[in-house]
Copies of this chain bind each other. A is one copy, B any other.
């Protein structure tokens, strides 16, 4: 996989003039390890276990900063915003996303290759995501339900 290491993330943040605090190091580590999308609340709870007296707005601010910096990417789900490590651009791909654990798996195929766009439409960007359950979260056919 083409994920960044904690050190690479920290280095990238430092290169942009950000101060490397413990909290930011931990955040970098969290996302370097995270195989999927995380909600701000998720992240806050995780961080809260490590830092007592942590404030939500600081977590939020850091997520925003890391997003603006291009380290994280933000995606809107029905239930709200989520963050994950930004995939490298030179390797364009899409994702299978697990509805249970929100882990992601790359899809090499890009639908734009096979999409017939009328030439009077000027394409700017596209979004392709597949949702379901991964092998670990897979449910019995019987108890399976749509979301």
> Do A134 and B147 contact each other (CB < 8 Å), given the known contacts A111-B128, A126-B128, A129-B127?
no
Inter-chain CA distance A68–B126, complex, in Å, is 27
- Inter-chain contact A123/B117, CB cutoff 8 Å: no
* Total count of chain A residues near the partner, CB < 8 A: 38
User: Which one of B76, B124, B130, B144 lies within 8 Å of A112 (CB-CB)?
Assistant: B130
Q: Report how many copies the assembly holds.
A: 2
- 25 interchain pairs, CB-CB under 8 A: A74-B78, A76-B76, A76-B77, A96-B117, A96-B123, A105-B121, A107-B116, A109-B115, A111-B111, A111-B128, A120-B135, A120-B138, A121-B132, A121-B133, A122-B139, A122-B144, A123-B131, A124-B132, A125-B130, A125-B131, A126-B128, A126-B129, A127-B127, A127-B130, A127-B131
Q: A124: which of B76, B127, B131 is its contact (CB, 8 Å)? A: B131
Q: Are B139 and A132 in contact (CB under 8 A)?
A: no
Interface assignment of A118: CB less than 8 Å from any CB of chain B: yes
Given A96-B117, A117-B96, A118-B105, CB of A124 within 8 Å of CB of B147: yes
- Tell whether A4 is near chain B: CB-to-CB under 8 Å: no
Task: Beyond the given A126-B128, A127-B129, please list 12 additional residue pairs across the A-B interface where CB-CB is below 8 A.
Answer: A76-B76, A99-B124, A108-B116, A109-B116, A115-B130, A121-B132, A121-B133, A121-B135, A122-B132, A122-B133, A123-B131, A124-B131
